[in-house]
Structure 1
């Protein structure tokens, strides 16, 4: 498979997409007059658009390519995780959304200072920012690495197109531009998955019936052995528990998703956003797994079309470039770019929101709305440049181990962060000191579990979350709680949750 086969029509389709995304950023630039516009969109976002944005944000280009590869080489068991993400929504509706809406937060970590102290706020905010700078680097790097064999571009050019253009339109359009580009990107992702599957159905002898029959014969859906319990392997019970806590972290303690709760006009629109996201999550990922089954059937019938020693991780872009019509292939590669950019742009705006709200406002003397907007834009560029530089380093050094370990270690903070919000909202007698003891105990325990046991990584979030809540609850009586009764009522399950 030669890179030059990408072709002129495909390049035109890709360039048109990139130009359209830039146009969205330019269009919304004129509305960015204050930090409230830049980080909250002035409440102008309809619920359905915010829902598309949540969906596109949580589906990176790596997911776009890895799900079909997973279904191609293994089975559909990871589909379970998508429905677990839907199952947590009642918890989010009843408890978390009222908190974040009523408190009028820019950064979700503001809550941690109100409930505990500034140390907890800085812990949450800085952990989030560092993790997402690493995430930008990893997503950009892996996307460039995956596409490099199939399109006539150097990896550095791919990094530039993904990263630099993403910085520009996020800088210009703020969260409003990010969300509306996410809508475009979400539609492209969904449409691409459906289109690829339909094309494969026409190319496989026996069509859709043969695709699903072959997968059933080969045990590529939910094999019986995957229903067993295991402490070290990713079986279905482990996946269900792990995805529950991972989804809880994403929807209750991660700025990039929680920020979508405050961009709508009212709480009903916010709930509509999550319902829209749930509908998309319920339907679209099935097509990604079906694409993997379709590719398995197609290349089982046509093994001569696969190069020797082919890396099946790139099976989706390989099929797109080699079998899809010219122009259409370009649009689908553009969808892979879209998946990458939707995740990165959300990270950029969220990092800027956290820094501006959690750090700049703390050290500055009552900055104006214009000053906060300026700082937010500077941070958008700074975070983007750091991510692009890190991606460039990974490409030039051809070594990802250090950054993978860094990103993985920071990812372990998700459990403690989820537990910290749980402790604050549901345990009234918890206080700043008990929260600190809980977080330190949680981090130490998770690090020990990771390096000294063979416990499956899906349990890390479970251990991290429960340790904060349990230790924070047990040690609370040892320390003085400085919150007034009125603050406890406002900042825990009580009036706010019922409002």
Structure 2
């Protein structure tokens, strides 16, 4: 189908957003005096802002567009995963955060060295960095791919506006700039979802009652067959298990989220961050699914508005461009940019924090906070350019089905990291040797499952995590020494950290 004219008002609204985001980066640039400022904001971030940042970081532009498309074509079952993510937060707060704050970490993987050894720290850090460089490329690429059919903008221009400008404001403002732009972006995401739903309600004959009635008649909420067990399909029991381990990985072993726990002044502010995130996750995703139901009702009543052979994966941007008023459409497209940039900027700063702390800090023992700041900024630009270059390659080569493959690899890389933190924090007998054995067994198990079975990819993270824990506990007596016992005494829940 042909692209629609984006229009001067829409361009103006998009440029206003981009200018505002750049302004935030410039404003906070003057506060970046050391690595502590650049990676931890000097503890100046209020809890509610850190919570908004966690929410915006974990919600990418692909999620923003794919959830309505999922509700439009299928049902609401993936909503279950959002509430599973909320359920793990008490576990995170009670068992994990005390250790992260007690050790005054810059990189969360410092814990792995103190609890096990430097090999586990490097494994966790390098896995995170490689994964997130790839994630930057994929999020940028898929956002450009989703918008290309609907706006008259070159895909490389979209990549530039999302990626390069994101690099600039992250380079300037550090984590403080990233978090406050996340607040703006989180508000835009939430407001856009609510606004789109309200507008569609006015355009559907029968309004909100008819929207939910049509979805109920079509059995598009939680169909009975989705409550059955399956090893290969994403039914509700599988989603609950998969999202539990995926959320545990994000909130306990992923630098981009864990970094938000240490940017506040005290543990009470960190608690506010988790509560704020939980409130947002409880409310906002419902509107994303409701938008999908509203689009289903709208186009069921007016099917002639959809082009022949339309790819329903792009139903949301198609509606925005074709039906929303000029200017308003530009603001909502800006919200899609915001969803992409919030994820990318968090990845960039977190990659820089990991490299500076886990690699550069280990090589150069005499480094200063000022040198760490310079290195952090260099890595921010380097990682960003690698991600942009990779997304440009994907566009030029017209790759397809890459998101599913990338998601399946999360179990391969995320599962072992989650298992390492679980093993270290909960099992006092575990040690460096048994942790290494657990990681090796975990990677081998997930690789075998991916290649030899049809098991649903939600199980990859489960297998990856549990293999580290099981093998790490069972092999611990083979590698035990007195030093391991002394370390475990301080860094497991058996002797809970004070903060």
In the superposition, the TM-score normalised over structure 1's length comes to: 0.98
**Using the alignment, how far apart are the partners of 1:312 and 1:400 within structure 2?**
16
Does 2:304 align with 1:304?
yes
- What's the counterpart of residue 76 of structure 2? 76
- Report what 2:135 is aligned to: 135
Work out whether 1:385 is the aligned partner of 2:385: yes
1:413-466 CA distance string (max 9 Å, x none): 111110110000111111100000000001100111111011111111111111
Could you tell me which residue of structure 2 aligns to residue 280 of structure 1?
Answer: 280
Alignment partner of 1:483: what SS? helix
Q: Distance in 1 between matches of 2:478 and 2:41?
A: 43
Q: Can you give the 5+ residue segments of structure 1 that lack an aligned partner in the other structure?
A: none
1:158-195 Cα deviation digits (max 9, x unpaired): 00000000000000000000000000000000000000
Give the structure 2 partner of residue 335 of structure 1.
Answer: 335
Contact 1:182/1:342 (<8 A) preserved: yes
Query: Does the CA contact (< 8 Å) of 2:102 and 2:497 recur in 1?
Result: no
Query: Which SS does the other structure have where 1:3 is aligned?
Result: coil
Question: Are 2:200 and 2:298, in contact at CA under 8 Å, matched by a contact in 1?
Answer: yes
SS in 2 for 1:158: helix
The answer to whether the 8 Å contact 2:4/2:321 transfers is no
- CA 1:476–1:455 in structure 2 vs 1: closer, same or farther (change >3 Å)? same
Describe the superposition over 1:313-371 as per-residue Cα deviations: whole angstroms up to 9, x where unpaired. Answer: 10000000111111000000000000000000000000000000000000013200000
Contact map agreement 2:84 2:240 (CA 8 A) in 1 = yes
Equivalence for 1:415: 415
Cα displacement string for residues 243-282 of structure 1 (whole angstroms, at most 9, x for unaligned residues): 0000000000000000000000000100110100000000
Q: Is the 8 A contact 2:408 2:457 kept in 1?
A: no
Alignment map for 1:232-247 (pairs within 5 Å): 232-247=232-247
SS at match of 2:205: coil
Q: Corresponding residue for 2:438? A: 438
CA contact (8 A) 2:24 2:169 kept: yes
Q: Deviation per CA, 1:205-247, whole angstroms, max 9, x where unpaired?
A: 0000000000000000000000001111110000000000000
In the alignment, what sits opposite 1:321? 321
Contact 1:432 1:481 in 2 (8 A): no
Would you say 1:375 and 2:383 are equivalent positions?
no
Which residue in 1 is equivalent to 2:353?
A: 353
Q: In the alignment, is the contact (CA less than 8 A) between 2:3 and 2:152 conserved in 1? A: yes
Shift of 1:404: 6.4
Equivalent position of 2:255 in the other structure: 255
Distance 1:482 1:172, change over 3 A: farther
Deviation, 1:498, is 5.2
Kept in 1, the 8 Å contact 2:4–2:322? The answer is no
CA 206–458 in structure 1, closer or farther in 2 if over 3 Å, else same: same
Distance apart, 1:399 and its partner CA: 2.0
Query: How many angstroms does 1:93 deviate by?
Result: 1.0
Change (3 A) 1:241 1:288: same
Q: Report the Cα offset of residue 150 of structure 1.
A: 1.2
Task: Please report how far the alpha carbon of residue 152 of structure 1 lies from its aligned counterpart in structure 2 after TM superposition.
Answer: 1.3
- Residue 264 (str. 1) matches residue 264 (str. 2): yes
The DSSP-based 3-state class of the residue aligned with 1:221 is: coil
- TM-score normalised by the chain length of structure 2: 0.98
Q: Is the 8 A contact 1:130 1:410 kept in 2?
A: no
Distance 1:403 1:194, change over 3 A: closer
Cα shift at 1:496 = 3.6
Task: Tell me the distance in 1 between the aligned counterparts of 2:290 and 2:299.
Answer: 14
RMSD after superposition: 1.3
- Distance of 2:155 and 2:27 partners within structure 1: 30
User: Gaps spanning 5+ residues in structure 2: where?
Assistant: none
8 Å Cα contact 2:428/2:494 also seen in 1: no
Contact 1:131 1:407 in 2 (8 A): no
Return the offset for 1:114: 0.4
CA contact (8 A) 1:6 1:321 kept: yes
**CA deviation after TM superposition for structure 1 residue 402, in Å:** 7.0
Give the equivalent residue in structure 2 for 1:94.
94
Find the aligned partners of 2:201 and 2:382 in 1 and give their Cα distance.
45
